Amino acid sequence: MIGMLNVTQYQVSTTRSRTNPDGPRFSLSLSGNSMGGVVTRAIIDFLPTPPVNNVGYINDDLLFGLLPAVDFGWWYDILRHEKPVRIYYAYDPSQPKISAISLGTTDEGVGEGPRDFNA
């Protein structure tokens, strides 16, 4: 199944730990309304060494994402500059693991960004 979370709010954080060097470097905490599926909140951790066979899991209405640290900049850029923003995720309702996760916009008009004076 494909689920969708319409993101209306987010928080961002960064962490570094000497006792857990493989812990998350960046985290996004997102909330909104479900546009299909069960998720209304998400916590996305960006790890130096994410699991290779799992991009996250669902627990009740909370999605936990486990993504590579190098992906953080792209996710954060979309959250800061686009609207509306949605998280799309693929899951099997009989299992907590999700098989795919993405962040993106809905249909938008061409050229709605800031004017490029060099064009």
Instruction: State pLDDT tens for residues 21-63.
Output: 776 789 999 999 999 888 999 999 999 888 888 899 999 999 9
The beta-carbon contacts of 38-44 under 8 Å, at least 24 apart in sequence, are 38/3, 39/3, 39/5, 39/63, 39/87, 39/89, 40/5, 41/5, 42/5, 42/7, 42/87, 44/75, 44/101
Written as one letter, the residue type at 66 is L
| Residue 2: band (very low, low, confident or very high) from pLDDT cuts 50, 70, 90 | very high
CA atoms within 13 A on the CB side of 66: 15
CB of 62 within 8 A of CB of 27?
no
- Whether residue 102 has pLDDT greater than 70: yes
Question: What mean pLDDT is reported for the chain?
Answer: 88
